[in-house]
Chains A and B, each alone.
Chain A
């Protein structure tokens, strides 16, 4: 039944465009939590147990095997609750993100709104109290959610089977490569098929995952129009080809209309084709991996299907495969016998586990809720609005001095565009990276490109369906203002950011393993010698 929408009267006259946002980020100069530790400080002081309890329980440590007992206390920071809270509240103020700013600058990452109602579902005790080792009869609800989510993703991709086990996109690509390897091995061609082909503008996780799985990687460059070079593919395929791993649309936002020819050529030499659909946001309900002939595909549920990105995990990935590849799916699969849901561990040809348990349950629930709230028509509308937003933003960005959108001139893009500031750099000496620093001064974020920079002085924008026209105008206004600054006062860019938490990061050390420290212990060992 349709709800009556309340008439709001005639639309108001369009307000004049607001000036640039005045923004200044918090800067707390906050130490690392380990540096805040004060010996003896505690968050909780549990009371001494009552005598009767002690008597009944005895020495609980007696029952622990020797091998499980710590020899020394864990080296955790010692802090009061207030100080812990304050620490993280401060860090959160030194951050940007989709809940805070117009986050269209993080191209390829599909920064869309994660509806808070789905977070509420995921935080419900009905989910958070579950343990993966509970008897299946007591977790029928979440198994049903997984089973039905798989069904919806089958429909969206056209594939015969889906697994939700991978923890993110790269893990899903790895799962696909592992299945492809198992497929060739099962046919006695494992030793022969040693090469995987990918493209310059496909996400680098494709090549990386295949390499981790032991393959040699051959990359196809873009042709003059920005499509992967079909002639290069012809020269690359052979009886050694295990698979083609490809994104479409690629990171340029250009959809490759010849994708079926690519797939057919690889099939003709016995290779499989894997479709990286992490960026499916612009094609939901419009094209399907299966219809283009692919054997396997994957989605990032933390992009297209709105679950939080979670910055390194846990996110959520999903792989779709044809029935020919299905025997190799990770173990276990979630099945339904007509009455109850169960886990099938009896899968002799399976590649095994891709991650512990059965998938990132809270995110699977979020993705399920998101799809259910939109329905099939709603998903298609998501794709249409995402593409519309992107082309609207591109239209405005291309009016800005010094910027261009290389390749496919005059054609529309799907859900994102990789722009180039090369002209501006030549004119002013200002680099794209510096523009990115300056964008932070206006409370937004901006990303360049994966390496290597095939598009010079790159910038990748992906506005998704979540942003309003005002949001997109604001972002374009920021870029326009900064481009004008580059032509009139480049120094302000060379010294940017000015209003951000951190002035400038010394990137010099990023390539130097001796200078990395991703844990407190490594930091002490390497840098505090």
Chain B
């Protein structure tokens, strides 16, 4: 018997219609409701279930009560299996996480969740590693690559997955710091990864590489970087899936969202702070391996603040190795990479061209500006 789960973040997207650039935080949600916003996520979730109902009306659908899923499931024609409890009109991020944990524990084949980047972060925090899930886009901010292009596609993709016609790929969960964003500053961070079904054309970011080609590109980059590694030099690995591939090539476990240090093929420091890095630089030569994060293309100063201006100055521009898959660079649309370390002098130092390693014995000249 095929079973799926549905989680709706009823407040996802609520800030967007009233110009609030996001819906994180109870205060924002209250203001959005005051401004006359109405929840749209349940409606979008129902839309995404329609193709699944067409595919198999006897699917078992597990979902939290009322606006967190039950309503949408009924609307689509299914008889829901309701799990857990919520406080209607006062749901929180913890409700999303709790529902994800429960659905995973029940062993559903796939969890659909409607929301935005914030919801994806909650799902990511709660689900066991590599648990199949898929986002129904309903939020204001969608930087994470875990969402289908629209609700209908989410349902179609889910149906294909259940029929064995779509395989899983690892996709990044990214989010903006909303408080900063509302003040006009963009600060994207990598929060982790989720495993989502993949079909060309149906996921946001069309022409995204397939699971294979994406993994091959990262592996090829890692092969190049590892081949060039020098004995006795510490390599500071910035956050990201591409830098993680370098660690994998060395058989070292990498902190996805943190900074690790390797030397002579061994992990010598894990999830370090700027202070720890500065200490380490007193005792040995070092290079930085860094990859631009997310859609904005920040090289330094966002999501990797541990590698601060002081560290960069000590390491020196010539010892910075920038890595990035050709597809990630393309997604930046040839816009320059950005740097904002908080130290104008260091920013100036980094400006100019880097030969970004894009594969084994392959690089692309790419411009960095402050």
Contacts and interface: CB of A to CB of B under 8 A. Distances in A.
Do A and B truly interact? yes
B122 interface: no
B149 to A, nearest CB: 7
A350 B342 CA distance: 57
B366 A221 contact: yes
A235 B353 contact: yes
Interface stretch (A20-28, A209-217, A308-316): A209-217
Contacts of B167: 508
Contacts of A453: 207, 330
A453 B333 CA distance: 9
A508 B210 CA distance: 7
Interface string B44-61: 000000000000000000
A217 B365 contact: no
A200 B207 CA distance: 17
A229 interface: yes
A245 interface: no
A508 B203 CA distance: 13
Nearest to B153: A429
Interface in A206-239: 207, 211, 215-222, 229, 231-233, 235-236
Interface in A273-306: none
A456 B210 contact: no
Contacts of A218: 355, 363-365
Given A452-B326, A511-B212, A220 B334 contact: no
B199 interface: yes
Interface in A472-529: 507-508, 510-513
Interface in A405-456: 425, 429, 431, 433-434, 451-454, 456
Nearest to A211: B361
Interface centre among A207, A229, A233, A511, by most chain B C-beta atoms within 10 angstroms, is A511
B365 A235 contact: yes
B355 A217 contact: no
A429 B365 contact: no
A508 B200 contact: yes
Contacts of B149: 429
B201 interface: yes
Contact of B210 (A220, A235, A511): A511
A255 to B, nearest CB: 20
B150 interface: yes
B230 interface: no
Interface in B81-125: none
A278 B185 CA distance: 47
B200 A217 contact: no
Contacts of A511: 209-213, 216
Nearest to B352: A235
13 contacts: A207-B362, A215-B361, A218-B363, A219-B362, A235-B352, A235-B365, A431-B206, A452-B326, A452-B329, A508-B166, A511-B209, A511-B210, A512-B212
- What 3 pairs between A and B have smallest CB-CB spacing? A235-B353, A232-B365, A452-B330
Interface of A: 200, 207, 211, 215-222, 229, 231-233, 235-236, 425, 429, 431, 433-434, 451-454, 456, 507-508, 510-513
Interface of B: 149-150, 166-167, 198-201, 206-207, 209-213, 216, 326-327, 329-330, 333-334, 352-353, 355, 358, 361-367
